[in-house]
A and B are shown apart, each in its own frame.
Chain A
Amino acid sequence: MRHWIFSCKQITELISESMDRKLPIYRRIGIRIHLMMCYLCRRYKKQLLFLRTVLQAIEEADEKNGEVLSQEARRRIKNKLDQEKK
């Protein structure tokens, strides 16, 4: 029974870990039970997921934005490649 009950600190570790690998079932259940009772750990979980979403969204937006290689950089890289081909 002990293994199903975690402290807030342990829950923060487990939630972080769950973002990197699938946890064993008893831990997942332990987290779920704890979260039902603890709004602070719910907030913590929400914060971590928030950060992940934000970073991914920003990265995708950056990839889609219209930035292009400057003419100057293009010329520089082209010179370098020309040298390499010789």
Chain B
Amino acid sequence: MGTEPGQEIDPISWLDHYGDTLYRFARARVKDSFTAEDLVQETLLAAYRSRKKFSGRSTLKTWLIGILRHKVVDYYRKLKPEQSEEDLDAYASGLDNLFDVKEKWLVKPGDWGGDPKNVYERKELMDAIHACLDDMPKRFSLAYTLRELQGVTTQELCEFLQTGKNNCWVILYRARMLLRRCLEVNWFNTEK
């Protein structure tokens, strides 16, 4: 410790050296810049308060990012939805209409085209994804966002949702089904 720039125990120098890195990390995970700025601030404060815990085994940057990662999850936790399981079941029951009684596809998945590269550079697709996620019950969109955007493990996700593994998979399944259906209708327009 103490030789590399920003390694000293001074939160102001952390801000100078890693502020932008932390900001970009946060910005990629939350929707608006104000929230991202707040998260950077909370991270630096928390880091300073627990500075004794920094062992020097990881780099300072890794340590700060680790704290930030937790702050992002906390942020999503506060958005935590209050919908009953029954409401969620009712909402998701519409998915059953995609299949016939023999559980074969009734509403056939469209061909979205082969190469995502052509599409994913478009900011609009991301906007469409966000719009679809905003439309579905929070518990689904939250689970999906944490898993696919935040990259949390399923175990962490189940703890976060405070539910058993099986239910966790059901929630993710429903979120994926709702998202792909929503995009199909609103973005890909593969309906005949």
- Chain A residues within CB distance 8 Å of chain B: 7-10, 12-13, 16-17, 19-21, 40-41, 43-44, 46-48, 50-59, 62-65, 67-70, 73-74, 76-78, 80-82, 84-85
In the assembled complex, B7 has its CB within 8 A of some CB on chain A: no
Would A63 and B154 count as touching, CB distance under 8 A? no
In the assembled complex, B73 has its CB within 8 A of some CB on chain A: no
User: In the complex where A43-B111, A47-B180, A67-B23 touch, is A81 in contact with B104 (Cβ < 8 A)?
Assistant: no
Contacting residue for B120 out of A8, A53, A73, A84, CB 8 A = A53
Residues of chain A lying within 8 A (CB to CB) of residue B19: 69, 74, 77
Contacting residue for A46 out of B112, B147, B176, CB 8 A = B112
Across the A-B interface, how many residue pairs have beta carbons closer than 8 Å?
A: 125
A81–B42 Cα distance when bound, in Å, is 10
Would A55 and B29 count as touching, CB distance under 8 A? no
Can you name 26 A-B pairs with beta carbons within 8 Å? A8-B103, A16-B176, A17-B169, A17-B173, A44-B109, A47-B109, A50-B112, A50-B116, A52-B148, A54-B120, A55-B148, A55-B149, A57-B120, A58-B126, A59-B28, A59-B149, A67-B23, A69-B19, A70-B37, A73-B37, A74-B15, A74-B19, A76-B41, A84-B11, A84-B45, A84-B49
A67–B20 Cα distance when bound, in Å, is 7
User: In the complex where A76-B41, A78-B12 touch, is A48 in contact with B176 (Cβ < 8 A)?
Assistant: yes
Would B125 and A21 count as touching, CB distance under 8 A? no
Would A44 and B180 count as touching, CB distance under 8 A? yes
Category for how many chain B residues contact A: 35 or more
- Chain B residues within CB distance 8 Å of chain A: 11-12, 15, 19-20, 23-25, 27-29, 33, 37, 40-41, 44-45, 48-49, 99, 102-105, 108-112, 116, 119-120, 125-126, 129, 147-149, 154, 169, 172-173, 176-177, 179-180, 183
